[in-house]
Amino acid sequence: MAALRRYLPHVVLAAGAFVMLLPFYWMFLTSIRSPAEIFSVSLWPIPEKFAALDNYSRAASQVPMLRFMMNGVIVCFGILIVQVLTAVPAAYALAKLRFPGRKLLLTLVIAALTVPIQALALPLFVGLAKAQLLNTYFAMMMPFLLSVFAIFLFNQSFRSYPDEIIEAARMDGFSELEICFRLVLRGSLPSLAAFSVFSLVAHWNDLYWPMIVVTDTNLAPPPLGMLFFADVESGANYGALMAGATIITAPMVVCFLLARKHFIAGITMTGVK
Amino acid sequence: MQPQSLNIAGIGKGFGADDVLKGIDLSIRPGEFLSLVGMSGCGKSTLLRIIAGLETADRGTVSIGSRDVTDVDPSDRNLAMVFQSYALYPHMTVRDNIATPLRMRRLSVWSRLPLIGRMIANAETLREIDASVKEAADVLQIGHLLDRRPAQLSGGQRQRVALARALVRSPSAFLMDEPLSNLDAKLRAHMRGELTNLHSRLGATFIYVTHDQIEAMTMSDRIALMSEGRIEQLGTPDELYRRPSTLTVARFIGSPSINLLPVELDASGEIVLFGQKLGITARNAWPGPATLGIRAEDVFPAADGIEASLVRTETQGADRFVTFNLICDPSISIVMRQRVGDDLGADADGNVRLAFSKEGVHLFGSDEKRREITVHEQVPA
């Protein structure tokens, strides 16, 4: 009975983890199998004919995979940098400065969290089209440059920064921007790590918006590139397709593993408040 | 930097409907150690923050020396503040913490940036800053802690770092907001002594906010006792103790608290305690109820005194504080200070008769203001 109570949570959690990880495992498995084995339901990790080299080299050579990755890096970091540069001062002002309308602005930020990108897609598309900005990096980044989620997350974490340190800094001659980036953000590194992971993963994996504003293969980020790849291959070579998918998923996994400690601290911290 | 005088004129401040400060006038002399004391909520911290520039007053002016700084930014007032929580920069070493006020003043925006800043900055200036940091650290004996971070320091050490950060820039005045209240009792007593030494060594102007009357009494040149947004009394510790101008001051200053007895003034101004004339007359006072304040050291056992029952004795080494309840009104308690070993003169029931030295009494009218008294020989009743 005691043993059951002790191990039951682990069993339940392991079952959950299995369900979450299975598609990724299947993706990886398919990427190293030969076309003959693709439709085998076996989960055995070692394929009869090891086709990894073939699949991966095909994925890397058939389409400009490096180019897609490069596009993804430019778009994701472009978005992330502008998001942090704009959200941090906004969150600092909302969390630590006293000015009329602060409560209203905070309410608007939270309200804006509820608006999905799909609702804005049409006006944004028309606007970008009129400005002749379709098929640019800017078009892919534009809707995400100001992140209300980032403002909300940083606001929650900046609130707990001690006021007396901010006041000491004012007396020492720090400007408000220096206080904001050199002290307050410095004290919220876990939140910054958590937000970076959220933002990078979301935009690296985003297919919806790039598909709307980009038709040029040279500008495609990885998921859109994969779509082009699938079109080129008519969806026939699943092995190579999954090899491509593995290649574009890997950076995100690495990114998460690097920031894992801070990421978890970041979301649990803001969760408690 | 020469110690500067500070002048505060007509400062008023309200938060919402509450007036926290109701017109404060105060001049602080150059090199003076002035304490602002009072219960929490009396406005002392707000006043200090207005002097620092962290809060803006609704009306009134603040000037340092002859310069009006009412609308000047905190960093341009050349004041240093020590906070209750010390407010050290948590990610910086002690060395960087102490150097920060100087870096912010003497280095340009670009040379303050991390990493590349050191390359752009003027080497001469950096050397000067390092030297000043070492000097400040030596004054506070924290030279061996320079490479640690605040999280690795004890409360007392953090306190010293905060002081070093304040004095490194040679400010016109030091502002301290309850800097000792996070320390344990023994360390607090020790740091009181160190702060007094630091004050006489630097000769600087100190403004010290505390709710602890012992801190104010032991360190200050003058005390401003605040209550409900006003300065109740301004004077030396001795004046506040010996001649409290109101009942509030009398209650606040002194440990143990002053004994308060309800009395009546008769038509001639003679003080009557429980129907007994005391041989003390109030000058310029009209008949009616009043309050008599007597310090614990002015109470002594006497055969012709008021009867009281012993409640408890607290021995404090050489002295002890003995608490009594009056027999005629047990809701009134009296504390007496006595040398340990001196006789209480208790009777068979454990009751003691108490009298007090007439020179030591303080009389407060029904408006709680001090009344002057004349002591004359007691007429036997």
Lowest mean pLDDT among A79-83, B67-71, B109-113, B296-300: B109-113
Which residues of A make CB contacts under 8 Å with B? 162, 164-165, 167-174, 178, 182-183, 186-187
pLDDT at position B12: 92
CB contact under 8 Å between A171 and B54, yes or no, is yes
Domain-wise residue ranges, chain B: 6-247, 257-375
The minimum CA-CA distance between A188 and chain B, rounded to whole Å, is 11
Tallying the residues shown for chain A, one arrives at: 273
Please name each of the domains of chain A with its CATH number.
Answer: 2-272 (1.10.3720.10)
Answer yes or no: is the ipTM higher than 0.95. no
Q: Is A272 a residue whose pLDDT tops 50? A: no
Please state, in angstroms and rounded to a whole number, the distance separating the CA atoms of residues B76 and A171: 8
- CATH H-level superfamily of B6-247: P-loop containing nucleotide triphosphate hydrolases (3.40.50.300)
Predicted local confidence at residue A271, as pLDDT: 42
- Which residues, in sequence order, are CB contacts of B365 under 8 Å at separation 6+? B282, B285, B290, B371
Q: What is the pLDDT of residue B378?
A: 56
User: What was the pLDDT predicted at A166?
Assistant: 95
CA distance B15 to chain A (A): 13
Minimal Cβ distance to A170: which of B75, B80, B88: B75
Query: Looking at residue B55, what DSSP letter applies?
Result: S
Comparing CB atoms, the residue among B54, B91, B101 nearest residue A172 is B101
Q: List b or e across A104-142, with b for residues whose CB sees 16 or more CB atoms inside 10 angstroms.
A: eebeebeeeeeeeeeeeeeebbeebeeeeebebbebbbb
Quick one: what percent of chain B has pLDDT higher than 90? 53
Least confident of A9-18, A115-124, A208-217, A234-243: A234-243
Interface contact B81-A169, CB threshold 8 A: no
Instruction: Summarize the confidence of residues B117-136 as an average pLDDT.
Output: 85
Residue with token string 């307050």: A184
Of A162, A173, A186, the CB nearest to B104: A173
For A51, phi and psi rounded to 5 degrees? -110, 15
Residues of B whose CB is below 8 A from A100: none
Q: What is the pLDDT of residues B13-41, one digit of tens each?
A: 988 778 889 999 999 999 999 999 999 88
pLDDT given for residue A230 in this prediction: 73
